[in-house]
Structure 1
Amino acid sequence: MKNSLAFLLILLFSSVGDLYSQTELTLEDIYKSGIYRQNRFGPIRWMKDGTGYSSIEKNPNLAGDDIVRYDAVKGTRSVLISAEELIPNGENKPLTVADYHWSEDNSKLLIFTNTRKVWRFHTRGDYWVLDLKDRKLSQLGKGIPATTLMFAKFSPDATRVGYVSENNIFVETLATGKITQITSDGDQDIINGTFDWVYEEELSCRDGFRWSPDGKNIAYWQSDTKGVGTFYLINNLDSIYSKPIPLPYPKVGQTLSAVKIGVVSSEGGETKWFDFPGDPRNNYLARMDFIPNSQEVMVQQLNRRQNQNTVWVGDIQNFSLSKILVEEDSAFLDVHDNIRWLEGEKFFTWTSEKDGWMHLYKVSRDGKTMDLVTQGEFDVERISHIDPASGYVFYIASPDNFTQRYLYRSSLTKIGKAERITPMNLSGQNAYQISTDSKFAIHTFQNTTTPPVYSLISLPKHETVRVLEDNRELKSKVAALKLNSKEFFKVDIGDVVLDGWMIKPTDFDPSKKYPLLAYVYGEPAGATVQDNWADGDLWHHYLADLGYVVISIDNRGTKTPRGRDWRKSIYGQIGILASFDQKAAVEKVLKTYPFIDPSRVGSWGWSGGGQMTLNLMFRFPELYKAGLALAFVSDQRLYDATYQERYMGLLKDNEEGYINGSPITYAKNLQGELMIIHGTADDNVHYQSFEMLVDKLIKYNKQFSMMSYPMRSHSINERENTSLHLRETMKNFWLRSLPAGGR
């Protein structure tokens, strides 16, 4: 009996060992079984005093979540709120905590649960409040339709909560449960307290109302979508009759929503509106926040070309407007969220590229003085923390390697050399969530061979206090596959040196010639050549192991910290400059690496990368023999006005550029093997773009492959088995159109 038990245990542990030492990378393991899914940490919230942080952890006894607190120095753990306390009256299971927020005094907790996706993010659902004094759990919005609440937040004194439901704003008194509806004109056309599709997607505007510092008023955005063109998505799956899904969506050159900002008493009453100059349908009110300890709001107004940002201060008592700053650029401007008020609200921080690099400035309240805080020939890639008490701003930069990211700090009061905080041995990408007093941070480190490692560190010495999640198991699983590492390289194409990476097959033989697959993006919204743990890397390793050399190269204009001229070079020529950069780079790669077969060159990309692949296939058919384009824009005039006009200018000023940058213009040149893939419910890049290209290719009698995914969005991952099926489809295309293996 003992021997039998021992034998069973040996078998059991052998099986477990085999599971974690798999040597074959499969699509099922990547896209279905989740074997290579990484562990994440958080979300955390630093407590007000900075001595500890809270996080969500699974309760060991219930199928629910605990809210726990960790002392930063001692590491002691305490349960602030147990899952048992999150069981509503009459229910037998606790709430699932999707997100949570503390009141300003940490006396109450706001819990977001039962969430629903609104376009890109889960921003709609139910909210509950737990009072830590009496441990009472209360649901907000009783009598309001379930799962319709959005952006709930405490009043400054935590006695009330404001939220949005069905395009109207409500205020609920916590002590009594009294609900006051403070706007009533919200409907399918009028949106109060949140935004239309294009503001959410392109200006990152979702939460559309703000409490005044004294809690007496609420300032909010109102969008009038009447007159905006309606695009219809068609649901053919969930009923025997098709169901149209209307989407107000302003395409290039078309009518935008009319957006305005008003102020209403938090007790209810009439809204008063600011009168910003200019046509509200040809300007954007991109940002609005109250200035602390004041009755004033700061508003950023972008013109339609998005090359001028006017900063206004609006008085909510007399509704006067004062212009304090105008930022201009010959190309385009991005909106930044790095404003922090300093020295009793006499100054504020502001991000600008005015000296050719992205830097932080200190601006007087009247806008008359503007002093550099960070300085040097490098970009401030991201602001991590601004701390007036310590006198420093902490930020992410990488002056010497554009594929990596490190923490630096600079003084808020005197100009000096940037001080690097991240140790030199942490080569890769680093991110930080810094405590209120700047003494601690949750540090995330990763690179191409290291999945995210989350640690608590002390600042400014960057000493590790404890490791919170190291993803060691994931790293071991991937290491067991014995994949070739991603190799970074540079490509000199004459005008500029570009960054790239390469993955070779595990059985690579330099004496043979392999087909080349180039993964492309190429637009200003992102970059592909980064020294991080990318979710898509295993897909590229899988392709490499089929017998391909896989590369990716960032052309000019991509979102990398290489200065203003790099990023703005693409202005007015999306799809044009990048196409020639990509072609030149691939030609240089073919000359540099003799193990690549010039007769087997392919390109693939998603969204902007799908558009780029089409441009490469149609413009340079002698070079690119096969292409796979997903969720692409075939004609830039079909995309949303805010994104496309930012980078291309207005249609009336640059119609030729729109035409020349669009791959559909060159569809007649197709010679190689092409496959196009799209989701029919893509609210971002519409299926229309797919169908118009199909129609054009048919007109020119071009043969190609196509795959439609019904009721899938831009990410093509909804509904059962979609991700695996998609990758199998992509794999099969490559194997038949661009034969794999060294020759």
Structure 2
Amino acid sequence: MMRILFICLLTYCSLHASAQQTQLTLEDIYKNKTYATKRFGPARWMKDNRSYSTLEQNMDAGGYDMIKYDAWSGKRSVLVSAQKLIPKGKKQPLKIVDYEWSPDNTKLLIFTNTRKVWRYHTRGDYWVLDMKSEKLTPLGQNVERATMMFAKFSPDASRVAYVSKNNIYVENLSDSKFTQLTFDGGKSIINGTFDWVYEEELSCRDGFRWSPDGSQIAYWQSDTKGMGTFYLINNTDSIYSKPVPFPYPKVGTSNSAVKVGVVSATGGRTRWFDVPGDPRNNYLARMDFIPNSDEVMIQQLNREQNTNTVWVGNTTTLSLQNIFVDKDEAFLDIHDNIMWLENEQFFTWTSEKDGWLHLYKVSRDGKSFDTITKGAIDVVGINCIDPKGGYVYFTASPENFTQRYLYRSKIDGSAEPERVSPIDQPGQHAYQISADASYAIHTFQNSSTPNKISVIDLQKHRSIRVLEDNRELKNKFDALNLNPKEFIKIDIGEVVFDAMMIKPVNFDPTQKYPILFFTYGEPANSTVQDAWQREDLWHQYMSQQGYIVVSIDNRGTRTPRGRNWRKSIYKQIGILATHDQAAAAKVLFDTYDFIDTSKVGMWGWSGGGQMTMNCLFRYPEIYHSGLALSFVSDQRLYDNIYQERYMGLLADNESNYIAGSPISYAKNLQGNLMIIHGTGDDNVHYQSFEWLVNELIKHNKPFEMMSYPMRTHSLNEGENTSLHLRETMARYWKRVFE
């Protein structure tokens, strides 16, 4: 009897534990990190293209060892033990945030003790480990700690250059002697790095380049005088508020004056290129040395960002030659896919000039322009260019826009693109490829499979060794017994959209369920992807509460559907996309009887917050409740590079700036609205939130609001912020859907 009772107790406990495991909780997602994805690396392919380095924890030393693995055999060797990374007089090894090998793999540059500059940790301390002598040396003993940025070896690895407090320095590794190359850097002059808007919208951070022979350094200089200063107000760090100023160019206002100069690596006067055009109304978006030369290639975008003028500048004579101009009737994106070929007589270039995003082979004089990738296919990204093997490896997905696969094309353009990724692994594939394309670190994922990372023989696409399979996470996820994402098509007549749907647990098609739309809708991103995405667990949690979750990629979103798809949104941000979302919702309601059309909500972050309010205010007959986070309420308040790229200049298109802004329709609010913003948002300022609040008050509209003190655009700083935010969101939806 006692034995039967004991067995029953065990069975009960087991079933009870199993039942507990099937509940997805916000605490587990946002506090306990129960469903965190394990990563691998950072890894670097070594010079031999047969081995790679990575970091592995050393429990005894309390740091990380630098490990070398042979790609084929898996042979493991310790390149640098954590004990060798303990500075003199210290007990703990350096915390490696990032690292770089010298070109000959004889020295290791370590980035540590980092600080955030806007969104990224780009400021900190650097150390160099000499692999032969095992000497560990701190760099920048002449500058303030944790102020160094973008340190990099000279071509012969005898020196390192870096930026500190907007000035550029070169330091000899043999004796730690340094040379200060610029002296005018300060509050308004920025040397070797960039202002906020160049970093955010043009992905410009590292602002200097060594010449191939190591004799010169070319760099950007930004003069922020004349640019408007925006002030964030810090009320949390002391009893008196502190204004936090930074230059930020709003739509239609003045930019920094940016120029490119060249200075000897041993010091001296900077000589400047005289690039034609107003430096405050053109963007010097890219600059790099041409290999084995004393010339730089400079890409100059006009203010409208529909013309990219490509210059070759001689660093000795400072002469400039315009080799070609790329144009688009809408806007151009900058691509970092340039590689020089055939003794620098040709280079690769990415353009949409034939309606698809293709890679081209261009002659040095710009006169010949031959297609490498061919057909109705968009090049999502270049993974590797292997001149010796004769192939370009790139990411694309011409048949399913929610997925990503590796393709290759012959550099001479003589063949159609060939798929490399296996057919039996539907989803998204990413590759870190050795320079000779023999091996790759391959990451596979889809909406129900977290990252599976392997070393593969790329030529046969055969797995050699699994580095991280996230099996534990996969098992936890499967134990929840959730309904998977379903990928569907929505045809509104004008166009067919990709969409995803998650149905509630224990879904019954004869019942009616509230629907929650998740949206972004702008050209910077896509929400409908067959991938293990950040918001998936939140949406699965919402589906557990009994809601259907749907997301729709409207026209203009960043998907590989050709130029016309992406450029259709030009000059009508917030207008065309809002129409598309509403039209798709109507088709969805007509298609699925289980949707409760009296309980329709939408939510989004940033551009998705703007889209949410545009839909809620303009289509109240469809959408009844909205939740908008970190949103732009008036497009004229946002930065000029992003907004003018997609909307044109304010003077030419102000009526659509107004028509696409949710603040213009706030008076139409009929349903429920909650707005959330961080007061320390340097991207979309709290000002945008306050302007909308004033407009809603003006029209006597009831709404809910939540402010997070000194949190940025991501709303994740500070203890417990992420969990508090999600619980606030969940409570809101529970109220409005009941």
With normalisation by structure 1, the TM-score equals 0.97
Q: Is the 8 A contact 2:340 2:347 kept in 1?
A: yes
**CA distance in 1: counterparts of 2:206 and 2:242, whole angstroms:** 29
Matching residue's letter, 1:118 = V
Q: Is the 8 A contact 2:680 2:712 kept in 1?
A: yes
**CA distance in 2: counterparts of 1:426 and 1:111, whole angstroms:** 37
In the TM superposition, what is the alpha-carbon distance from 1:60 to its structure 2 partner?
3.1
Distance 1:418 1:20, change over 3 A: farther
Q: Is the 8 A contact 1:324 1:367 kept in 2?
A: yes
Distance 1:469 1:729, change over 3 A: same
Distance 1:20 1:111, change over 3 A: farther
In the TM superposition, what is the alpha-carbon distance from 1:19 to its structure 2 partner?
9.0
Q: Secondary structure at the match of 2:456?
A: strand
**Which 5+ residue runs of structure 2 have no aligned equivalent?**
1-5
Name the structure 2 match of 1:723.
Answer: 722
Matching residue's letter, 1:311 = V
In the TM superposition, what is the alpha-carbon distance from 1:17 to its structure 2 partner?
12
Name the structure 2 match of 1:331.
Answer: 330
In the TM superposition, what is the alpha-carbon distance from 1:415 to its structure 2 partner?
2.1
**CA distance in 2: counterparts of 1:308 and 1:21, whole angstroms:** 58
Say if 2:663 is the partner of 1:664: yes
Matching residue's letter, 2:664 = T
Q: Is the 8 A contact 1:350 1:360 kept in 2?
A: yes
Name the structure 1 match of 2:3.
Answer: none
Q: Is the 8 A contact 1:489 1:501 kept in 2?
A: yes
Name the structure 2 match of 1:589.
Answer: 588
Q: Secondary structure at the match of 1:654?
A: helix
Name the structure 1 match of 2:609.
Answer: 610
**CA distance in 2: counterparts of 1:74 and 1:377, whole angstroms:** 40
1:640-680 superposed Cα distances (whole Å, 9 cap, x missing partner): 00000000000000000100000000110000000000000
Say if 2:520 is the partner of 1:521: yes
Say if 2:673 is the partner of 1:674: yes
1:147-190 superposed Cα distances (whole Å, 9 cap, x missing partner): 00000000000000000000000000000100111000000100
Q: How does 1:331-410 map to 2 (within 5 A)?
A: 331-410=330-409
Q: Is the 8 A contact 1:152 1:163 kept in 2?
A: yes
In the TM superposition, what is the alpha-carbon distance from 1:507 to its structure 2 partner?
1.8
1:493-526 superposed Cα distances (whole Å, 9 cap, x missing partner): 1100000000011021111111110000000000
Name the structure 2 match of 1:240.
Answer: 239
Runs (4+) of structure 1 moved beyond 4 Å?
Answer: 14-21
**CA distance in 1: counterparts of 2:239 and 2:302, whole angstroms:** 45
In the TM superposition, what is the alpha-carbon distance from 1:414 to its structure 2 partner?
3.6
Q: How does 1:277-356 map to 2 (within 5 A)?
A: 277-356=276-355
**CA distance in 2: counterparts of 1:446 and 1:91, whole angstroms:** 41
Q: Is the 8 A contact 2:373 2:413 kept in 1?
A: no
Q: How does 1:168-567 map to 2 (within 5 A)?
A: 168-567=167-566
Distance 1:639 1:52, change over 3 A: same
Matching residue's letter, 2:275 = F
**CA distance in 2: counterparts of 1:630 and 1:414, whole angstroms:** 46
Q: Secondary structure at the match of 1:733?
A: helix
In the TM superposition, what is the alpha-carbon distance from 1:461 to its structure 2 partner?
1.2
Q: Is the 8 A contact 1:21 1:477 kept in 2?
A: no
Name the structure 2 match of 1:158.
Answer: 157
**CA distance in 2: counterparts of 1:437 and 1:330, whole angstroms:** 38
Q: Secondary structure at the match of 1:256?
A: coil
**CA distance in 2: counterparts of 1:156 and 1:171, whole angstroms:** 13
Name the structure 2 match of 1:130.
Answer: 129
Name the structure 2 match of 1:647.
Answer: 646
**Which 5+ residue runs of structure 1 have no aligned equivalent?**
1-6
1:531-563 superposed Cα distances (whole Å, 9 cap, x missing partner): 000121010011011010000000000000000
Say if 2:629 is the partner of 1:630: yes
Distance 1:19 1:239, change over 3 A: farther
**CA distance in 2: counterparts of 1:143 and 1:408, whole angstroms:** 48
1:431-473 superposed Cα distances (whole Å, 9 cap, x missing partner): 0000011100000000001000000010221000011000000
**CA distance in 2: counterparts of 1:379 and 1:108, whole angstroms:** 39
**CA distance in 1: counterparts of 2:142 and 2:363, whole angstroms:** 47
**CA distance in 2: counterparts of 1:107 and 1:543, whole angstroms:** 52
Q: Secondary structure at the match of 1:653?
A: helix
Name the structure 2 match of 1:116.
Answer: 115
Name the structure 2 match of 1:3.
Answer: none
Q: Is the 8 A contact 1:100 1:109 kept in 2?
A: yes
Distance 1:709 1:19, change over 3 A: farther
Q: Is the 8 A contact 2:323 2:366 kept in 1?
A: yes
Moved more, 17-26 or 276-285: 17-26
Matching residue's letter, 2:578 = S
Q: Is the 8 A contact 1:283 1:301 kept in 2?
A: yes
Q: Is the 8 A contact 2:96 2:111 kept in 1?
A: yes
Q: Sequence identity of aligned pairs in percent? A: 68
Q: Is the 8 A contact 2:374 2:416 kept in 1?
A: yes
In the TM superposition, what is the alpha-carbon distance from 1:58 to its structure 2 partner?
0.7
**CA distance in 2: counterparts of 1:525 and 1:617, whole angstroms:** 22
In the TM superposition, what is the alpha-carbon distance from 1:63 to its structure 2 partner?
1.1
In the TM superposition, what is the alpha-carbon distance from 1:738 to its structure 2 partner?
2.0
Q: Is the 8 A contact 1:168 1:183 kept in 2?
A: yes
**CA distance in 1: counterparts of 2:193 and 2:59, whole angstroms:** 38
With normalisation by structure 2, the TM-score equals 0.98
Name the structure 2 match of 1:54.
Answer: 53
Query: Aligned pair count?
Result: 729
Distance 1:174 1:18, change over 3 A: farther
**CA distance in 1: counterparts of 2:25 and 2:413, whole angstroms:** 55
Q: Is the 8 A contact 2:555 2:565 kept in 1?
A: yes
In the TM superposition, what is the alpha-carbon distance from 1:21 to its structure 2 partner?
7.6
Name the structure 2 match of 1:4.
Answer: none
**CA distance in 2: counterparts of 1:413 and 1:642, whole angstroms:** 36
**CA distance in 2: counterparts of 1:60 and 1:238, whole angstroms:** 36
Q: Is the 8 A contact 1:610 1:629 kept in 2?
A: yes
Name the structure 2 match of 1:85.
Answer: 84
**CA distance in 1: counterparts of 2:728 and 2:108, whole angstroms:** 46
**CA distance in 2: counterparts of 1:446 and 1:508, whole angstroms:** 26
In the TM superposition, what is the alpha-carbon distance from 1:732 to its structure 2 partner?
0.6
**CA distance in 1: counterparts of 2:129 and 2:61, whole angstroms:** 19
In the TM superposition, what is the alpha-carbon distance from 1:428 to its structure 2 partner?
0.1
**CA distance in 2: counterparts of 1:569 and 1:491, whole angstroms:** 18
Q: Secondary structure at the match of 1:488?
A: strand
Matching residue's letter, 1:312 = W
Q: Secondary structure at the match of 1:78?
A: strand
**CA distance in 2: counterparts of 1:725 and 1:404, whole angstroms:** 33
**CA distance in 1: counterparts of 2:469 and 2:54, whole angstroms:** 17
Q: Secondary structure at the match of 2:652?
A: coil
Distance 1:344 1:565, change over 3 A: same
Moved more, 54-63 or 223-232: 54-63
**CA distance in 2: counterparts of 1:574 and 1:425, whole angstroms:** 38
In the TM superposition, what is the alpha-carbon distance from 1:239 to its structure 2 partner?
0.3
Q: Is the 8 A contact 2:383 2:393 kept in 1?
A: yes
Matching residue's letter, 1:129 = V
RMSD: 1.4
